[in-house]
Chain A
Amino acid sequence: MTDLSKLYKQTILEHNRNPRNYGRPDHWTHHSEGLNAICGDLVHVYLTIEGDVISAINYDGESCAISMASASMMTEFIKGRAVDDALSKFELFCQLMAKGSDIQRIDALEDVNNLITVKKFPSRIKSATLCWHAMAAAIKGQPTATTE
């Protein structure tokens, strides 16, 4: 199977067809908008934080399949985690996806590692990281986020 097929067929298209936690919820406590000005990708991330736990996380927006699938996977992975834990996982995800790094897997990221093929398409890495930046920004109370 080619890298391209791997990238699209295995994980991305499944999440793209059946997005988890998609859509703007009725209530949330934290929100941020992630925007990639160059490509025009837009993702909104909505969090409900109770105490220090993220009890709900949703997303919507308009972007490519990689960006949408990454957001879908992220919401599944982050839901129910403590705020500090979510932020440390964000740091790990940034390390995993860093352009030029040879890290192929970070066990603590569990199924999120399935996005690793994106690294073979460097121009698309920002598509995968946008929602994570938006999630971290929402926790920090920043209304907007970019991958720049």
Chain B
Amino acid sequence: MGNAFFVVWRESLEAFLIAGILYAWLKANDDSGQGRRALFLGLAAGAGLAMLLGWALLTVQDELTGEALDMFQTATLFVAAGLITQMVLWMHKHGRQMKARLHADLAAAAEKSGHLGVAVVAALAVAREGAETVIFLYGMAQEGDLSALLLGALAGFAGAGATAWLAAKSLARLNIGLLLRLSSILLLVLASALLISAIDRLLGAGWLPPLLDPVWDSSALLDDGTKAGKLIADFSGYRARPALTSLLAWATYWGVVIFAWRRSGRG
């Protein structure tokens, strides 16, 4: 049961955190409530997609399906990282005009470019983490003791929700300016972590050369093979033994983001 709790908590946490931070951020940005509706629709769609993916992984288990699904997961990582970044930068640019312009203008603009992005990001986050949870729970269910499993899984799910809710709540308590800045940074850090996992997958499949691997070894300081280290690695993109390609991707990402942030702030 302890294991079911931890795995479900960890698998759900990323999806919940993205949802929670998006929620806090939409609450400050979007008065109409449409963004939040899009968020919930996206979460529901993601849950459906996760079950579909889990079912596909369980029923069609040949090499080909495995590889096709791996590729799909890699693609979702890139899309989610790109969409989150684009949304944060878009809001940064238009957040400034919000004070100067009429609210109606902004609401119309946000509806066009923001809401679909919010829904897709939420759906992808849930689908990616959810598919693994579905397989894990299916496997556990075959072991027997269903009530302990159900209890552990539900507790883990609720725990992840509570963790994200607390994060969103404590963010929302800050003043709007600080909230926007902090939630934007958190979303960008999460997006960079997604990008690093996507690069890792390409390196692992041999699609990208690692160039130099590893560049350093900091596993004595913080080992990403342990429970806590893995958690930090998942949310920040930290690697104890990074390949040069990952480092370059990470540096390029932050270079582009900081450049775009400065430019949109000025314009």
A binds B: no
Point out residues on B near A: beta carbons under 8 Å: none
